[in-house]
Structure 1
Amino acid sequence: MIQEFKAFIARGNVLDLAVAVMIGAAFGKIVTSLTEDVIMPVIGKVFGGLDFSSYFVTMGPVPAALTGSTDYAALKKAGVPLLGYGEFVTQAVNFLIVAFIIFLLVRAVNRVVPKAEAPTPADPADVVLLREIRDELRARNAAPGGRTE
């Protein structure tokens, strides 16, 4: 069983997947920082200083100590049921950035790496046989003394 596990781990695609997950996690942190620290503040400035994370609707009772609070994180930590649509907007922008960057990467790779020609499927055996028969009949008819029509 241990030998099978070693063989499984040593396969190239498992290692490639592990590396891809680690790079993806690091890339996700970079994009999250870009969204939260660069893009969303600019959007907030353009729209009059609005902070999307403070946009939410309370769906239940708020503890007396937090009444009137607009701190989404504090209310969420206190267990108040919230509909955090501002946080959703932030995450949607984050997703769009990641999707666009992945699109650009795939597009660049497709331009650089030539497309491999798809192998032409082999003809079915009956078609090959019929071609051989046709070619044989043509050869017989073309030979001296062969039939001509």
Structure 2
Amino acid sequence: MIKGFRDFILRGNVLDLAVGLIMGVAFGAVVTSLVKDVLTPFIGNIFGKPDFSSISYNHIMIGNFLNAVITFLMVAASVYFFIVMPANALMARIKGPVPEVPPASKVCPQCLSDIPIRAQRCSHCTQLVA
């Protein structure tokens, strides 16, 4: 039962979905801050004071936007270093080393074209190949 749960959690799509959800929420905060603290006051300063909820004339809150961007970058770094990297290392340990695939072709010494590994004669130049 525990092995099945572990396999379920460590499947790529479950982990990718969790990371995507976390990054989406963090990026949503960046976009919200951009609109609320930078674009809306900027538009309010250009067109007078439209019905934006109590914005002052010259107070564009760039600091809030920068805080949101820095928070997003910290969340992204935390997700990568504390979720993605350990999960990738665990998956590599579980799967083990990837066996090397023997080559399927070799190079003809005469014309340097690729020929099948079991060929005894080159199909391009008809040279005998050992």
Question: What band does the TM-score fall into relative to the shorter chain?
Answer: 0.3 to 0.5
Q: Compare the two structures and name the one with the higher helix fraction.
A: 1
The two structures have a TM-score, normalised by structure 1, of 0.38
Q: Which has the larger radius of gyration?
A: 1
